[in-house]
Each structure stands twice: as C-alpha cells, then as structure tokens.
C-alpha cells in the first residue's frame, strides 16, 4: 500500500498545501469556480486523516465538462472518467505527484452542500470529531489492505454525524459561508 494509505495525526501543513493548490486552481478557473473549498478530514483542525488533500470545486454548469476540465488539467490533475459517483467529476494528481483529490460538483446541489455541512459540523463539535477519528483508526487497522471495506465501514458513523449535523444546521441556521479560495 502507498504511504498515504494510512491514518495520520492532523498536520497543520495540510492547510498550506490546500491553499497552494487552490490558488493555482482559482487562477486557472477564474469565475468558472463559484467556490473552491478544502473538504474531507484534512480540512478539520485536530482530525486524524489519510494525508490526502480533498478539494471541492463548485461550478454553475456541471455538465459543461470541457469548460473546466482543461483548466483543471493545466494545474496538474487528470479527470478520472471511471468514477461511479454521478454527483461529481473526480480528478486526481498526475503520477508521481502528491496525492490530491479534486471533486467538481454542481453549485447548490445536495452533494455539494452535505460535504460542506459535514466539514463545518466537525469543525465545531470536537467530541464527534474524536469519535470519527477513533473509528477511522479502528477501521484502518481492520482493513488496511482492503480499501473498499474501509470506505464502506465508515458509512455508519458518517451517516450518524450527518444526522446530527442536520439537526445542528437547523438550530444555528447554518449556511456554507464564504468559499475557502
């Protein structure tokens, strides 16, 4: 397994790595990107994570792939056409580059919003952040050589946290706030 297929202690360097990549994406995409956000576990201070930066790019016209594909490729990412998730276009780093996942989603879509809500909830709920971290460590120990089982195993806790995040969003009137880049 590659060196990034592990759960690492939170590294404040992840924010700088996001900012560096996101700035290049912002320059290349300009106004095509409505939002560029640091998402996933590396975006939550104190949360242990696989050391892979996840970036969500929100666009107005998700179906106009050619309009944003070449601009993302100029920054050094390749569209993965085999992605089974029809709510996002998935880009990965060029071979030999630092592992990064780019998720392009329709601005305002459920998948865009739930990703931001999950992140924002964890940022302000340290007990659930710790619980999620502990579960990821447990699952990695069980399934370190079986990525699909690790991902599937997270489903129960992710949905539990999303349910709590939904209630919290109503209590505080959550909205995604301004874009990270």
51: number of Cβ within 10 Å:
21
CA dist 2 and 50 (Å) reads: 11
Let me know if residue 179 belongs to a domain. Answer: no
Q: Which domain holds residue 116?
A: 13-172
- Confidence (pLDDT) at 3: 61
What does the pLDDT look like over 11-66, one tens digit per residue?
999 999 999 999 999 999 999 999 999 999 999 999 999 999 999 999 999 999 99
CB 149 within 8 A of CB 143: yes
Let me know if residue 4 belongs to a domain. Answer: no
Let me know if residue 137 belongs to a domain. Answer: yes
CA dist 145 and 142 (Å) reads: 8
Stretch among 19-28, 94-103, 104-113 having the lowest mean pLDDT: 94-103
37: number of Cβ within 10 Å:
26
Let me know if residue 1 belongs to a domain. Answer: no
Q: Which residue reads 């995040």 in tokens?
A: 165
- Confidence (pLDDT) at 6: 85
Let me know if residue 2 belongs to a domain. Answer: no
Q: The pTM is what?
A: 0.94
């Amino acid at each position: 397994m590659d060196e990034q297929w592990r759960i690492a202690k939170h590294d404040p360097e992840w924010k700088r790595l996001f900012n560096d990549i996101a700035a290049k994406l912002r320059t290349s995409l300009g106004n095509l990107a409505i939002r560029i956000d640091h998402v996933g576990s590396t975006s939550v201070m104190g949360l242990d994570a696989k050391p892979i930066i996840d970036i969500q790019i929100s666009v107005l016209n998700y179906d106009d792939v050619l309009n944003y594909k070449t601009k993302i490729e100029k920054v050094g990412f390749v569209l993965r056409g085999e992605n089974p998730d029809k709510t996002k276009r998935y880009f990965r780093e060029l071979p030999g580059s630092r592992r990064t996942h780019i998720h392009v989603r329709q601005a305002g879509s459920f998948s865009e919003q739930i990703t931001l809500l999950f992140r924002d909830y964890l940022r302000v709920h340290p007990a659930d952040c710790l619980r999620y971290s502990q579960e990821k460590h447990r699952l990695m120990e069980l399934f370190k050589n079986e990525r699909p089982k690790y991902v599937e195993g997270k489903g129960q806790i992710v949905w539990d946290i999303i349910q709590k995040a939904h209630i919290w969003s109503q209590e505080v009137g959550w909205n995604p706030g301004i874009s990270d880049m």
